Amino acid sequence: MPESPNHPLRRLWRSLDTYKDALPLVILRVAFIIAASSLSIQLFRRPGILPAGTSEAMVVALTTAGAIIVVALDYFYREKLFGTLTSIIFGTIVGLFLTYVAGLALGIWIINEAQRNAVQMLIGAVICYSLVSFLLQTRGDFRFIIPYVEFVKEMKGRKPYVLDTSVIIDGRIADVVEAKLFDSQLVIPRFVIGELQGIADSSDKLRRSRGRRGLDILNRLRNNAEVDLDIFDRDLPEFQGQPVDLKLVLLAKHLEGKVITNDFNLNKVARLHGVDVINLNQIANALKPVYLPGEKLDVMIVKAGEEPGQGVGYLDDGTMIVVESGRDHVQETVEITVTSVLQTSAGRMIFGRFEQSNGGKRPGGQKGRTAQKA
């Protein structure tokens, strides 16, 4: 495989890997077309079914064309509601019974038994294909009840989690899932994957790198055997003409799940629709250690602050610390006493008072100012 990420073979491989969940449905459609062609040949070779002088090539071509039309109708009509599955199953049973009755009625006009059986066989093939195709496209997303037997969709936990583009590109979702914080099924809509691929193929270098990172995170989740990941590739009727953010909200509402995102606007839209939202930034802030006024901690002052005498440092988690009387100790590790903590929408800030220098070293091996004065 070529090493260049822009190589056509690599892009083709990414596309095939993305759509591998639809492979069983593709195999079913191809097998149906081949079976229809083979069936036409068998019917042609049976005497008395077709009129004399009928061309074998014409029979095969017409049968194959009919099969392709059935597959095309199935492909373009994507708005299959799982709520109608029960009706389809019982409708198929009734349809088969009516097909048998119709076969008896056709006996009045079609005396030849071989021709009557051939018609019934063709009708049965079309019905079976339609049913299996529907089941493949709605697997794991249906509820069909018959007396004493109940089939329900498999799902870990109580509610599935629907991931949006921002949280996949962010990358922290993979670490959180591997830490087993989320035990329910993860759902990634097909349109989110398409958006990631569009970003990965962007002409802008930064967007391209972000898109590729998102695809790498997605592959990391899919290759983890302990992660229950599902690609949702159906188009719901309510998706028509809606933007991606609203599609995510509608999908989460349809699945009775939650949305995981870093997008503040999507957060507000989801709450307006009554959908629960999990924001990874809020989780990260909640997991940061709590510092109370009066506690002491060590921090490296990296630059001068905006006010006279202030120094600024950062904790390992990115929390900014403003140190009073810390300007003269830039590039030193000092001990401070926490005076107050301010929580803002952008994050958390800690204010502290300089106590003493710990003799920290500057980058490059030089000692801090306290050590130099000594």
User: Which CATH number is 273's domain given?
Assistant: 3.40.50.1010
Between 156 and 10, residue with greater pLDDT: 10
Q: Are residues 279 and 300 in the same domain?
A: no
**Residue 362 clears pLDDT 60, i.e. is over it:** no
Q: Which of 251, 245, 278, 286 is nearest to 262 (CA)?
A: 278
- Kindly state whether residues 301 and 206 are assigned to the same domain: no
Pairing of strands 311-314, 296-304: antiparallel
- Assigned domain for 155 exists: no
Q: Are residues 173 and 276 both part of a single domain?
A: yes
Total number of domains in the chain:
3
More confident residue, 163 or 145: 163
Q: Tens of pLDDT along 107-154?
A: 667 667 777 777 777 766 776 677 667 755 665 554 444 443 444 444
pLDDT at residue 286 greater than cutoff 70: yes
The tens digit of pLDDT for each residue in 219-257 reads 998 888 888 888 887 777 778 878 888 888 888 888 888
Side-chain half-sphere exposure of 92, counting CA atoms within 13 A: 17
Q: Are residues 244 and 321 in the same domain?
A: no
Q: What is the pLDDT of residue 313?
A: 93
Q: Return the pLDDT at 150.
A: 42
- Which range marks the domain in which residue 309 is found? 296-373
pLDDT at 321 over 50: yes
What does the pLDDT read at residue 152? 45
The Cα angle at residue 65 between residues 63 and 68, in degrees rounded to 5? 110
Residues 72 and 110 in one domain: yes
pTM of the model: 0.50
What's the number of CA atoms in the CB half-sphere (13 Å) around residue 301?
31
- 303 and 282, same structural domain? no
Domain boundary among 150, 176, 202: 150
Whether the per-residue pLDDT at 15 is higher than 80: the answer is no
Quick one: pLDDT at residue 101?
Answer: 67
The pLDDT of residue 132: 64
Same structural domain, 15 and 139: yes
Element (H, E) at 76: helix 56-76
Run of H or E residues at 356 = strand 347-357
In percent, the amount of the chain with pLDDT more than 90 equals 8
Angle at 9 between CA 11 and CA 205, to 5 degrees: 40
Tell me what pLDDT residue 364 has: 37
Same domain, 177 and 277: yes
One domain for residues 239 and 368 = no
Do residues 13 and 143 both lie within one domain? yes
Neighbours of 200 (CB within 10 A): 21
**In whole numbers, what is the pLDDT of the chain averaged over residues?**
76
Tell me whether residue 156 is in a domain: no
- The residue that leads in pLDDT, 67 or 24, is 67
